[in-house]
């Protein structure tokens, strides 16, 4: 979520840089699938689809295999020598300082192929076995951040078994778990292909049986409907691109998301437990407790009193407490209040009336008894107010302590939080550092999986050899359909039907919801957010629709919003849904560079990057100077920022194979403008957008040429006027024929400013005879010539936010004394809002306005018409 239009912003970095352009018996054995006994033949389930008949291919020959140790210092175990036959080259290795003790590993041929129906084995099924086959997440760097212990596996590849026209991008890996026998297909992680040697190397987190395969129809033609539209975004816009693109897959050919909210199921859990956590439950009220331990690789820790606000470059803005509060408010405008349910308003907390939001913020933030909105008694909460005797208050925040992002009890706070309530333990009318915030997101439940048992309670549990006997532990890579620990309620899990407040016997409370209705309840606002979450939408997507959609998603290992972690959850869901995903940790891995080579976007073979890509950038072991320069952060270092954007654009535009790749000799024109249109979805308001047209678009000789369109949704705090220069610079790649010529559109997603500035409008607004900069009041109140502390934007007779509505006819105005006509604080999240600033529902339809923009672009510019084209599986 880019907040400030600063030099660390991705686009200001891009502009100058883009311009520069089971073991076998001893001895040799021949094992065929048809040689398997009935006991050897396993009927399994692959992500919900029952397979498997033994593989149809006969002819893999296995040698004796090999046994060796994986050592803490790093080592490799490999089946070498011609006597290994088709097993030759199979290997497992581990980097140094990943494990604390040696592990004995055996590599052998598996008697039965594990490839499901519809796929062709292109290599032997290789069994990698050990007493401890699973590798955990550990703090390997001492910085409190978990790193997954990855092992490197090499499998033999028989290229001669590939179907005609099949290519390396068609390769998939199937894995059979040693403990349960379940077969799954995981994304390739850091795949390295050596086709000459017949080897494929990749990373995994557990040992088992592995086999390379391709789909039986790989390389065969099919008809793909091309819309010639791509929806992409950065940060806030990236999350919106995924939300919109996956809910309306027929509207787009591809989705590109650079550092966005790829999974609100995970992120809501993280924000609740970490961002709103850090307080002790009963009976230890009044103390601060650490938030829950990390469960995900690279997950960053924070608590309500210590929001993550990293120093150095590459963050995309200065994220202080004020900005966090504004983001929380804008999220609630967009999707609803997920911490409290008020049937009268999807924005306001339970019990908070509209009149509270209409009070001047300065009055609301006096932080004194009698001025603070208070519910004296009867507001129950199982965590922090179980008997309902303590007062619950609205509160203000926003003034940072040290370091940045930390709550300072000694300071006054002037930013009304709006969407949260706190338990006022001492009754002084202000929230103190030890006073917790209410988190009524769902009824109490235990995330134990559909069997209702924690793994340790399941029969056969062993922490080393069988840590998940029921095979139901959720893991984005190895078990994305797991129900234990998936941050969702699943039937069979124990819960308490006590309502959102978690306290039994409070069903008559006006602040509770759902008690005693004989079903599990989410906060309805959270349920809505889940149902619009990219991961939820993806899992509900028709397989044919997925076959007509391509995704490119990325995230940094130090992203302050944990968008890396969210992206991993989406990646696992995408693979489980039938997608063939390639995941890369560095751009060098993506390009399969050799030592000494440098990354060059113009030399990438986009065709073989995979059907979908997740790019995880940043070095978890980077030295402090590199981290301060932005390595792995929200925007990344300068080089990472450039590589992120150009790689995404190149990969997605590569879909348009019948585009215009002709070279345009300089000098050439690159038309660019900020335009506007009337949006029916916004009740006739004027909506702005930026647009960058292809090189020489305005020349007569190109008057009949039509182009695909890429929509680029900006980050938090930006506007379309910030981005057209980016499109102009991208035209360089189009002009040299590297990318197909296309139209790039920048929709409006900024609603937090009043665009008419009294000190820059050419009018004498206060009738004192001086105008704009000539009025001395403009030196202290840049929006207001009258010198008022609060600019009465909602009582000046002007359409300050340019939406076609004025003063109280503008729903952004709460009353005549309001200081802004804007419908949110800073960012729309490109969604149809559930509420206006006063909490009244529904709010402005920003997502619907985006589709109005799509229609407008189609009518106004030379857009390539949709068509069916021949593509190849």
SS3 456: helix
Report which listed range, 46-50, 228-232, 353-357, 759-763, is most confident. 228-232
Structure tokens at 242: 């995924």
Question: Which carries the bigger pLDDT value, residue 812 or residue 859?
Answer: 859
Mean pLDDT of 355-379: 93
Mean pLDDT of 343-349: 96
**Cβ distance 495 to 443 under 8 Å?**
yes
Strand partners for 121: 213
SS3 54: coil
C-alpha span between 680 and 746 (Å, rounded): 19
Reported as a pLDDT band with limits 50, 70 and 90, residue 512 is very high
Structure tokens at 854: 């799509």
Provide the b/e sequence for 679-702 (b: ≥16 CB within 10 Å).
bebbeebebbbbbbbbbbbeeeeb
pLDDT score at 777: 64
CB atoms within 10 A of CB 580: 21
User: 258 — alpha (psi -120 to 50), left (phi > 0) or beta?
Assistant: beta
Least confident of 247-261, 351-365, 546-560, 776-790: 776-790
Least confident of 219-223, 711-715, 743-747, 813-817: 813-817
Choose among 814, 773, 323, 797: nearest CA to 781.
Answer: 773
Q: Name residues whose C-beta falls within 8 Å of residue 125's C-beta, 6 or more positions apart in sequence.
A: 55, 60, 109, 110, 112, 113, 114, 115, 176, 209, 210, 211
229-234 vs 709-713, strand pairing mode: parallel
Residue 590 has pLDDT above 70, yes or no: yes
Reported as a pLDDT band with limits 50, 70 and 90, residue 291 is confident
CATH number given to 29-215: 2.60.220.30
pLDDT score at 576: 94
pLDDT score at 51: 35
pLDDT score at 357: 92
DSSP secondary structure string for all residues of 714-747 = --TT--GGGSHHHHHHHHHHHHTTSS---EEEEE
Structure tokens at 83: 């006597």
pLDDT score at 14: 43
Residue-wise pLDDT for 429-458, tens only, equals 999 999 999 999 999 999 999 999 999 999
Residue-wise pLDDT for 103-161, tens only, equals 999 999 998 999 999 999 999 999 999 988 988 877 666 666 778 889 999 999 999 99
Choose among 480, 579, 491: nearest CA to 263.
Answer: 480
3-state helix, strand, coil in the chain (%, to 5): 20, 20, 55
**Cβ distance 847 to 837 under 8 Å?**
no
Mean pLDDT of 76-81: 96
**Cβ distance 209 to 176 under 8 Å?**
yes
Question: Which carries the bigger pLDDT value, residue 86 or residue 18?
Answer: 86
Residue 689 has pLDDT above 50, yes or no: yes
Q: Provide the percentage of residues in the chain whose pLDDT is more than 70.
A: 87
C-alpha span between 128 and 463 (Å, rounded): 19
C-alpha span between 734 and 741 (Å, rounded): 5
pLDDT score at 493: 98
Mean pLDDT of 406-410: 91
pLDDT score at 62: 94
Q: Cα-flanking dihedrals φ and ψ of residue 322, to 5°?
A: -60, -45
What are the sequence ranges of the domains in the chain? 29-215, 305-444+495-518
Residue-wise pLDDT for 801-854, tens only, equals 766 677 777 777 776 777 677 788 999 999 999 999 888 899 999 999 999 999
Residue 515 has pLDDT above 60, yes or no: yes
Q: How far is CA 486 from CA 441, 474, 569, 610, in A?
A: 16, 5, 10, 27
Question: Which carries the bigger pLDDT value, residue 496 or residue 302?
Answer: 496
Burial grade of 93 (CB within 10 A; 0-12, 13-18, 19 or more): middle
**Cβ distance 764 to 778 under 8 Å?**
no
Three-state secondary structure of 785-845: CCCCCCCCHHHCCCCCCCCCCCHHHCCCCCCCCCCCCCCCCCECCCCECCCCCCCCCCCCE
Residue 233 has pLDDT above 60, yes or no: yes
Reported as a pLDDT band with limits 50, 70 and 90, residue 780 is low
Query: Which residue reads 């995408």 in tokens?
Result: 574
Structure tokens at 143: 């910085």
CB atoms within 10 A of CB 804: 16
Mean pLDDT of 618-623: 90
SS3 201: strand
Mean pLDDT of 771-778: 66
Residue 719 has pLDDT above 90, yes or no: no
For the chain, state the CA radius of gyration.
Answer: 29
Q: How far is CA 154 from CA 159, 215, 804, in A?
A: 15, 20, 62
pLDDT score at 308: 86
Question: How close are the terminal C-alpha atoms of the chain, in Å?
Answer: 35
DSSP secondary structure string for all residues of 85-106 = BTTTT-EEEE-TTS-SS-EEEE
Residue 11 has pLDDT above 60, yes or no: no
C-alpha span between 49 and 318 (Å, rounded): 47
Strand partners for 676: 688
pLDDT score at 543: 87
DSSP 273: I
Reported as a pLDDT band with limits 50, 70 and 90, residue 65 is very high
C-alpha span between 477 and 510 (Å, rounded): 43
254-258 vs 229-234, strand pairing mode: parallel
SS3 208: coil
pLDDT score at 45: 38
Mean pLDDT of 380-395: 96
**Cβ distance 105 to 152 under 8 Å?**
no
CA torsion 292-293-298-301 (nearest 10°) is 50
Least confident of 215-224, 275-284, 335-344, 707-716: 275-284
């Amino acid at each position: 979520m880019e907040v400030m239009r600063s030099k660390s912003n991705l686009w200001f970095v891009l502009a100058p840089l883009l311009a520069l352009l089971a073991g076998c018996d001893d001895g040799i054995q021949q094992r065929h699938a048809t040689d398997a006994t009935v006991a050897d033949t396993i009927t399994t389930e692959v992500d919900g689809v029952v397979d498997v008949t033994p593989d149809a291919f006969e002819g893999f020959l296995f040698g004796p295999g090999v046994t060796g140790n994986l050592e803490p210092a790093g080592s490799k175990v490999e089946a070498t020598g011609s006597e290994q036959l088709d097993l030759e080259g199979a290997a497992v290795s581990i980097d140094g300082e990943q494990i604390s003790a040696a592990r004995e590993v055996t590599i052998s041929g598996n008697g039965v192929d594990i490839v499901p129906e519809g796929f062709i084995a292109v290599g032997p099924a290789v069994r990698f076995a050990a007493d401890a086959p699973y590798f955990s997440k550990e703090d390997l760097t001492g910085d409190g951040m978990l790193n997954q212990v990855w092992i490197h596996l090499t499998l033999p590849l028989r290229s001669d078994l590939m179907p005609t026209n099949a290519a390396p991008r068609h390769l998939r890996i199937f894995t059979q778990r040693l403990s349960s026998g379940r077969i799954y297909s995981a994304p390739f992680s850091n795949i390295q292909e050596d086709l000459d040697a017949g080897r494929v190397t990749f990373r995994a987190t557990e040992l088992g049986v592995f086999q390379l395969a391709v789909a039986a129809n790989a390389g065969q033609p099919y008809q793909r409907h091309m819309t010639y539209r791509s929806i992409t975004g950065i940060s806030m816009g990236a999350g919106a691109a995924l939300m919109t693109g996956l809910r309306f897959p027929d509207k787009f050919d591809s989705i590109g998301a650079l550092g966005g909210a790829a999974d609100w199921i995970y992120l809501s859990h993280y924000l609740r437990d970490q961002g709103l956590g850090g307080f002790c439950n009963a009976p230890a009220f009044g103390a601060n407790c650490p938030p829950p331990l990390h469960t995900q690789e690279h997950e960053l820790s924070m608590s309500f009193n210590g929001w993550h606000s990293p120093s150095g470059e590459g963050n995309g803005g200065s994220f202080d407490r004020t900005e966090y509060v504004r983001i929380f408010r804008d999220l609630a405008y967009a999707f609803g209040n997920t911490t409290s349910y008020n049937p009268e308003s999807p924005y306001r907390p339970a019990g908070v009336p509209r009149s509270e939001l209409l009070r001047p913020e300065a009055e609301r933030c006096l932080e004194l008894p009698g001025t603070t909105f208070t519910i004296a008694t009867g507001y129950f909460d199982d965590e922090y107010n179980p008997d309902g005797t303590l007062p619950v208050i609205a509160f203000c925040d926003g003034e940072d302590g040290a370091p940045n992002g930390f709550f300072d009890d000694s300071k006054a706070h002037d930013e009304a939080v709006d969407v949260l309530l706190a338990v006022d333990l001492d009754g002084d009318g202000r929230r103190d550092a030890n006073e917790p915030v209410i988190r009524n997101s769902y009824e109490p439940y235990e995330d134990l999986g559909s069997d209702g048992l924690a793994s340790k309670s399941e029969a056969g549990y062993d922490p080393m050899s069988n840590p998940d006997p029921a095979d139901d532990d959720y893991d984005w890579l190895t078990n994305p359909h797991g129900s234990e620990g998936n941050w969702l309620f699943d039937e069979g899990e124990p819960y308490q039907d006590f309502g959102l407040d978690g306290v039994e016997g409070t069903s008559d409370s006006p602040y509770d919801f759902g008690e005693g209705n004989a079903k599990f309840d989410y906060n309805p606002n959270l349920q809505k957010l889940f149902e619009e979450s990219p991961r939820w939408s993806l899992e509900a997507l028709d397989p044919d629709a997925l076959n007509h959609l391509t995704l490119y998603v990325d995230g940094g290992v130090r992203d302050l919003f944990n968008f890396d972690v969210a992206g991993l959850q989406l990646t696992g869901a995408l693979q489980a849904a039938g997608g063939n995903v390639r995941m890369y940790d560095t751009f060098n891995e993506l390009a399969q560079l050799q030592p000494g080579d440098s990354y060059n976007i113009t030399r990438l073979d986009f065709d073989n990057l995979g059907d979908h890509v997740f790019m995880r950038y940043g070095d978890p072991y980077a030295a402090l100077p590199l981290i301060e320069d932005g390595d792995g952060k929200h925007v990344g270092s300068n080089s990472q920022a450039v590589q992120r954007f150009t790689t995404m654009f190149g990969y997605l535009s590569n879909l348009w194979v019948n585009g215009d790749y002709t070279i345009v000799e300089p000098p050439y024109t690159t038309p660019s403008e900020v335009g506007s249109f009337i949006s029916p979805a916004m009740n006739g308001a004027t909506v702005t957008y930026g647009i960058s047209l292809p090189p020489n678009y305005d020349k007569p000789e190109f008057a009949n040429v039509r182009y695909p369109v890429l929509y680029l949704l900006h980050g938090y705090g930006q506007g379309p006027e910030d981005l057209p220069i980016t499109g102009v610079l991208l035209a360089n790649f189009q002009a040299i024929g590297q990318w197909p010529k296309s139209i790039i559109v920048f929709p409006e997603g900024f609603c937090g400013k009043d665009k008419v500035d009294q000190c820059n409008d050419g009018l004498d607004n206060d009738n004192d005879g001086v105008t704009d900069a000539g009025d001395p009041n403009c030196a202290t109140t840049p929006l207001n010539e009258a010198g008022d502390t609060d600019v009465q934007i909602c009582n000046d007779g002007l359409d300050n936010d340019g939406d076609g509505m004025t003063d109280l006819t503008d729903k952004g105005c709460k009353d005549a004394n309001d200081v802004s006509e804007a419908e949110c604080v800073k960012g729309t999240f490109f969604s149809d809002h559930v509420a206006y600033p006063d909490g009244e529902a529904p709010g402005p339809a920003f997502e619907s306005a985006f589709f109005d923009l799509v229609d407008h672009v189609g009518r106004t510019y030379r857009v390539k018409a949709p068509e069916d084209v021949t593509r190849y599986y």
